[in-house]
């Protein structure tokens, strides 16, 4: 689960519909992809890059405006050595406004995909430190907390 507070401080809201700022559905899909991608990564021990492969479905019945709070709830449906599927619900201020179902690919160093680095560029050391702070802020050493 992840939470997103929609505010007028976000530049994309000023340009989407001038005079009527709304959160674009494409960014709500992106929020779900990030949430579900972390869930998939955790299921695989963060050993591989998790890459969005396909949006199976994305349906929205309402929009979000500044002042609204979005909550992304992702569920892992299937996971194997090559891919994972997730289903997700987007809630606005506690009420369901959409669903987003996704497919992810896992790409590890042994995959040697053309053009991709051979290291984990999704779940970097910096990301893993940040993730640890959300789980247990006291788990970091002083140098990690200072970003050293």
Domain CATH number, residue 28? 3.10.129.10
Give every residue of the chain whose pLDDT is below 50, as ranges: 140, 142-144, 148
Q: What is the pLDDT of residues 90-120, one digit of tens each?
A: 999 999 999 999 999 987 766 655 666 667 7
Range of the structural domain that residue 48 is part of = 2-109
**Would you call 118 helix, strand, or coil by DSSP?**
coil
Q: Give the global pTM.
A: 0.82
**Would you call 92 helix, strand, or coil by DSSP?**
strand
Residue of 12, 14, 16, 106 with catalytic role: 16
**What pLDDT is attached to residue 148?**
45
Does residue 22 lie in a domain region? Answer: yes
Quote the number of domains for the chain: 1
Does residue 125 lie in a domain region? Answer: no
Does residue 115 lie in a domain region? Answer: no
Contact, 69 vs 4, CB < 8 A?
A: yes
In the chain, what are the helix, strand and coil shares in percent, each to the nearest 5? 30, 35, 35
Catalytic residue check, 16: yes
Question: Hey, CA dihedral for 100, 131, 134, 148, is it positive or negative?
Answer: negative
Report the distance separating Cα 142 and Cα 126, nearest Å.
15
Q: Which two tokens stand for residue 10?
A: 């976000």
Does residue 60 lie in a domain region? Answer: yes
Does residue 56 lie in a domain region? Answer: yes
Does residue 36 lie in a domain region? Answer: yes
């Amino acid at each position: 689960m992840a939470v997103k507070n929609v505010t007028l401080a976000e530049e994309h809201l000023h340009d989407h519909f001038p005079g009527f700022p709304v959160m674009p559905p494409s960014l709500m899909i992106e929020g779900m992809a990030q949430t579900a991608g972390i869930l998939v990564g955790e299921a695989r021990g963060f050993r591989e890059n998790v890459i969005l492969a396909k949006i199976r479905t994305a349906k929205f019945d309402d929009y979000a405006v500044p002042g609204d709070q979005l909550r992304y709830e992702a569920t892992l449906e299937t996971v194997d050595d090559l891919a994972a599927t997730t289903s997700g619900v987007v809630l606005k201020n506690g009420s369901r406004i959409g669903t987003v179902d996704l497919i992810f690919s896992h790409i590890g160093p042994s995959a040697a995909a053309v053009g991709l680095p051979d290291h984990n560029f999704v779940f970097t050391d910096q990301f893993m430190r940040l993730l640890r702070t959300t789980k247990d802020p006291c788990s970091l050493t002083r140098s990690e907390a200072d970003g050293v």
